[in-house]
Amino acid sequence: MKSHRKELWFETKTRMAFVNITLDVQAALAESGVREGLCLVNAMHITASVFINDDEPGLHKDYARWLEELAPNEPTSRYQHNNTGEDNGDAHIKRQVMGREVVVAITEGKLDFGPWEQIFYGEFDGRRKKRVLVKIIGE
């Protein structure tokens, strides 16, 4: 069995952002040489997410609005976590809702997606460098 590990690094210009990383993951898969197996993609930071959905701008705006309604950034005093001197209590909650990782089957050397599926990095406390792990195993 083969195993391949790659880190992807991101630094968004905004506090919240959704970045399509499908091509980056496909490139890691090509590097791996794996034809049949599994691909794990996970955010390596507790205020960021990896998820699968449609690459449709309206949907991303809906996500941003819904997440901000669910866990608004302001006022920061609403989060006990922020009593530690941080200001990102909302980002932790947004990450919990959107999830830490995805696993995609690899079939005949390709990510085995359903219609419209793409992989996204979700950032909820941006403007600093963070990483995503791609781990591929298989034959």
**pLDDT at position 59:** 98
Give dist(CA 105, CA 113) in Å, integer: 8
Q: Is 40 helix (H, G, I), strand (E, B) or coil?
A: strand
Class in CATH terms, 2-138: mainly beta
Q: Where are the domains of the chain?
A: 2-138
Other CB atoms within a 10 A radius of the CB of residue 104 amount to: 20
Give dist(CA 133, CA 33) in Å, integer: 17
The model's pTM is 0.96
pLDDT, tens digit, 9 for 90 and up, residues 80-112: 999 999 999 999 999 999 999 999 999 999 999
